[in-house]
Chain A
Amino acid sequence: MKTKIREFRKEQKITQEELASMVEVTRQTINSLEQGKYNPSLELAYKVTKALRKDKIEDVFIMD
């Protein structure tokens, strides 16, 4: 799965650590999500989308 987390994170000027704290996961998990190594649960995908102030999960997470 591809994600636009890094792109939106840079846009909002927040660090991986800050985003991780917002969605209550580790910084490594955010890094893993950004690299497309880990597919998140619906709940985590929703939380990340909200934290990045986007409306739809599809805006942030893109299926290959």
Chain B
Amino acid sequence: MTSKKVVTKKSMIYRVVFIAVLMVAGLLLNRYNIGTNELFGHSTVGNYLIYIGFVMILVTSIMYFTKREKIIDERIEMLRYKAGTLTFTVFIFVAFAIIILDGIQPITMRYSLFISYAICAILVFYVAAYKILERKY
């Protein structure tokens, strides 16, 4: 494992491309009426992608103008790996639990809604795992 510095300028290009992809995807979803009233029953998936794009533009602009350098060292890489592994393991067990529960009593929730909740839960769990591990190591 080596320590390294991620220069803001380099990562900035990837960020800008990612923001553009998000916003274009949001516009396309809205244009073709895909994902309407899908996410938590409000708005559209496309609108949420556009909102996230705007938030990312704000964060990226702040990072660019304050010239902050983000350092990713070996400890952070280890934390990311451990949090990822933990999240994946928990995801597998939860998936099995859901399969069993679905066998006992079928889950009637809409597939798109279920997936969006699942993705949110995974992200929240990953962040929580990372923060807890950060205190340990």
Contact = CB atoms under 8 A, between A and B. Distances in A.
B3 A38 contact: no
| Chain B contact residues, majority secondary structure | mixed
Interface stretch (A1-9, A18-26, A55-63): A18-26
B71 interface: yes
Residues of B in contact with A, size category:
10 to 19
Contacts, number: 39
A24 B5 contact: yes
* Most chain A C-beta atoms within 10 Å of own C-beta, residue among B4, B5, B74, B76: B74
Contacts of A44: 1, 3, 73-74
Contacts of A41: 1-2, 74
A32 interface: yes
Contacts of A23: 3
B8 to A, nearest CB: 15
Nearest to B136: A37
A15 interface: no
Interface in B9-24: none
Interface of B: 1-5, 71, 73-76, 134, 136-137
5 tightest CB-CB pairs across the interface, nearest first? A25-B73, A29-B75, A41-B1, A24-B3, A38-B137
Interface of A: 23-26, 28-29, 32, 37-38, 40-41, 43-44, 47
Given A29-B75, A43-B3, 7 more contacts: A23-B3, A24-B5, A25-B3, A26-B75, A26-B76, A29-B73, A41-B74
19 contacts: A24-B4, A24-B5, A25-B3, A25-B71, A26-B71, A26-B73, A28-B75, A28-B134, A29-B73, A29-B76, A32-B75, A32-B137, A37-B136, A37-B137, A38-B137, A40-B74, A41-B1, A43-B1, A43-B2
